[in-house]
């Protein structure tokens, strides 16, 4: 079991499967709000759905409309269970707060692999990999 401590962005506690990328994500134009699928051409997660996963990525990029894409995903039941970043950007921060998605940053994401089971306690700023 590995435990990491980071900075709380939005509270909440969830358990789920990690979906990890080493590339930044743009929710506006890069993630289809009606499906939760990453559609950015050439992105490491292209064709994969963020729905119901603990989404692990370095940071966000792109337009401020990305915050509302996260909100639309939440309203449609297609949002990530939680978000883990190395260094959050304002678009992802606002999106996670208005969508009430547990979110933590200041985490070394290189230690987390797709498919691992994670416990995210964003209220405490803690991520645990359950082997």
What's the mean pLDDT in 24-49? 97
Residues classed as catalytic: 63
**What is the DSSP secondary structure assignment for residue 8, as one 8-state letter?**
E
Mean pLDDT rounded to a whole number for the chain: 97
pLDDT of 131 reads 76
What's the mean pLDDT in 80-86? 98
**With 80 as the cut, is the pLDDT of residue 107 above it?**
yes
pLDDT tens per residue, range 3-16:
999 999 999 999 99
127 burial level (CB within 10 Å; 0-12, 13-18, 19+): buried
Prediction pTM value: 0.97
Count the alpha carbons within 13 Å of 42 in the hemisphere toward its beta carbon.
0
Domains and CATH numbers, the chain: 2-130 (3.50.30.10)
Q: Let me know how many helices (H) and strands (E) the chain has, helices first.
A: 2, 8
What's the mean pLDDT in 33-44? 97
């Amino acid at each position: 079991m590995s435990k990491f401590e980071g900075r709380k962005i939005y509270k909440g506690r969830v358990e789920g499967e990690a979906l990890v990328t080493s590339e930044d994500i743009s929710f506006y134009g890069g993630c289809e709000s009606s499906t939760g699928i990453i559609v950015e051409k050439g992105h490491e997660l292209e064709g994969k759905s963020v729905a119901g996963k603990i989404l692990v990525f370095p940071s966000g990029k792109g337009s401020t409309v990305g915050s509302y894409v996260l909100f639309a995903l939440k309203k449609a039941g297609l949002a990530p269970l939680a978000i883990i970043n190395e260094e959050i950007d304002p678009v992802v921060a606002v999106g996670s707060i208005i969508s009430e998605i547990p979110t933590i940053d200041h985490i070394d994401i290189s230690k987390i692999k797709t498919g691992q089971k994670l416990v995210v306690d964003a209220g405490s700023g803690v991520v645990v990999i359950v082997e």
